[in-house]
């Protein structure tokens, strides 16, 4: 399934329990779609959420509201049913809001273009934590509920670990000399995987964040813009080249390419609430929903990590996955 969004999308998120997906566009619009198997997604809402681009999108409050962030420094909460404004924090950050991530059912974290991270109580609509974690934009964040630590990657080439309980930056990696663009926690919390501007995946051991313990250099020569954890051993990686691949971690290997957006950069990835669909957005204006049963059944019948035959393009193997 796919739908043309009519503009470059920057972020997407799935509803936590219903078949709804939201996307934020470069023109400041927030779009909400209902999807179902074997049918084109149906647009339910189009809201002019921000005066500048809508860079970050997250469902909150059990899916009753959508939070968006923008270079206009604001964070907006929009009602899912009506599209009306619930609340707007006009000066949520001093700089452009670049990333949002759910922390708990009642808190959400935001990161801006100057490296500042804030954690918000969505009930009280107030900031409960603030960290000056980086010197450049926050590219991605993920939360470890077991340790109550928020991990972030940045354009300054470092990984940070913020302790929410103590309200301080717990650790920060050495500079990696390239921008870090994406982050996931894997191996039951023992490994942190970061995607970089050069296409290399950097692997950090939990508790040893100063320097990476391993590097996987064979994934791509293009920036790895998005990482999405499938399980403790496999991650979905999206690159600037438009290719989306399933990657094994320790042992590090490319299991297979699973989706693509031609040659257009993939911005973000997300799973539907039941993990039946993988959502991807790209500079080709497209939101694509990939059937995970088809993608994983393809992996099961493959005879090895490389499924693209010599002389064949990735697209030759991918068209079968599109509805």
pLDDT tens digits for 258-295? 999 999 999 999 999 999 999 999 999 999 999 998 87
Structure tokens at 251: 């042992």
pLDDT score of 300 more than 80: no
| Helix (H/G/I), strand (E/B), else coil: 302 | coil
172: confidence class by pLDDT, cuts 50, 70, 90: very high
* pLDDT tens column, 235-245: 999 999 999 99
Percentage of the chain exceeding pLDDT 70: 91
What pLDDT score does 314 carry?
A: 38
User: Residues for the chain: how many in total?
Assistant: 323
Residue 250 has a CB neighbour count (10 Å cut-off) of 16
Q: What is the DSSP letter of 25?
A: E
When pLDDT is averaged across residues 187-213 and rounded to a whole number, the result is 97
* pLDDT tens column, 17-46: 999 999 999 999 999 999 998 889 999 999
**C-alpha distances in Å from residue 321, one per residue of 260, 274, 308:** 10, 19, 14
Give pTM, 2 decimals. 0.91
Q: Catalogue the long-range contacts made by 236-244 (C-beta closer than 8 Å, 24 or more residues apart).
A: 236/269, 236/278, 237/195, 237/201, 238/266, 238/268, 238/269, 238/280, 239/199, 239/265, 239/266, 240/265, 240/266, 241/265, 242/266, 242/282, 242/284, 243/314, 244/269, 244/278, 244/280
Q: Which residues of 33-57 are buried (b: 16+ CB within 10 A; e: fewer)?
A: bebeeeeebeeebebebbeebbbbb
Contact 155, 184 (CB under 8 A): no
């Amino acid at each position: 399934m796919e739908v043309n969004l009519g503009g470059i999308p920057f972020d997407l998120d799935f509803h936590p329990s219903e078949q709804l997906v939201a996307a934020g566009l470069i023109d400041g619009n927030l779009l909400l779609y209902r999807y179902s198997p074997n049918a084109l997604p149906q647009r339910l809402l189009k809201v002019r959420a921000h005066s500048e681009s809508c860079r970050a999108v997250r469902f909150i409050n059990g899916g009753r509201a959508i939070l968006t962030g923008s270079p206009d420094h604001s964070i907006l909460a929009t009602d899912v049913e009506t599209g009306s404004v619930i609340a707007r924090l006009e000066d949520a950050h001093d700089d452009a809001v670049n990333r949002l991530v759910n922390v708990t059912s009642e808190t959400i974290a935001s990161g801006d273009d100057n490296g500042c991270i804030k954690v918000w109580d969505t009930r009280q609509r107030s900031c409960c934590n603030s960290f000056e974690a980086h010197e450049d934009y926050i590219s991605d964040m993920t939360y470890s509920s077991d340790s109550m630590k928020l991990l972030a990657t940045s354009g300054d080439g470092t990984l940070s670990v913020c302790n929410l309980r103590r309200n301080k930056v717990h650790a920060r990696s050495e500079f990696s000399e390239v921008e870090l663009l994406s982050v996931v926690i894997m191996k039951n919390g023992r490994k942190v995987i970061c995607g970089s501007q050069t296409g290399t995946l950097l692997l950090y051991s939990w508790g040893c964040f100063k320097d990476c313990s391993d590097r996987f250099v064979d994934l791509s020569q293009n920036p790895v813009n998005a990482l999405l954890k499938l399980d403790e051993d496999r991650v979905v990686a999206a690159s600037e080249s438009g290719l989306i691949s399933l990657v094994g971690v320790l042992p590090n290997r490319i299991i297979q390419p699973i989706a693509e957006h031609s040659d257009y950069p993939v911005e973000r990835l997300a799973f539907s609430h039941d993990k039946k669909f993988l959502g991807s957005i790209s500079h080709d204006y497209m939101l694509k929903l990939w059937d995970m049963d088809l993608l994983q059944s393809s992996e099961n019948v493959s005879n090895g990590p490389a499924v693209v035959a010599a002389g064949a393009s990735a697209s030759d193997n991918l068209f079968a996955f599109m509805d």
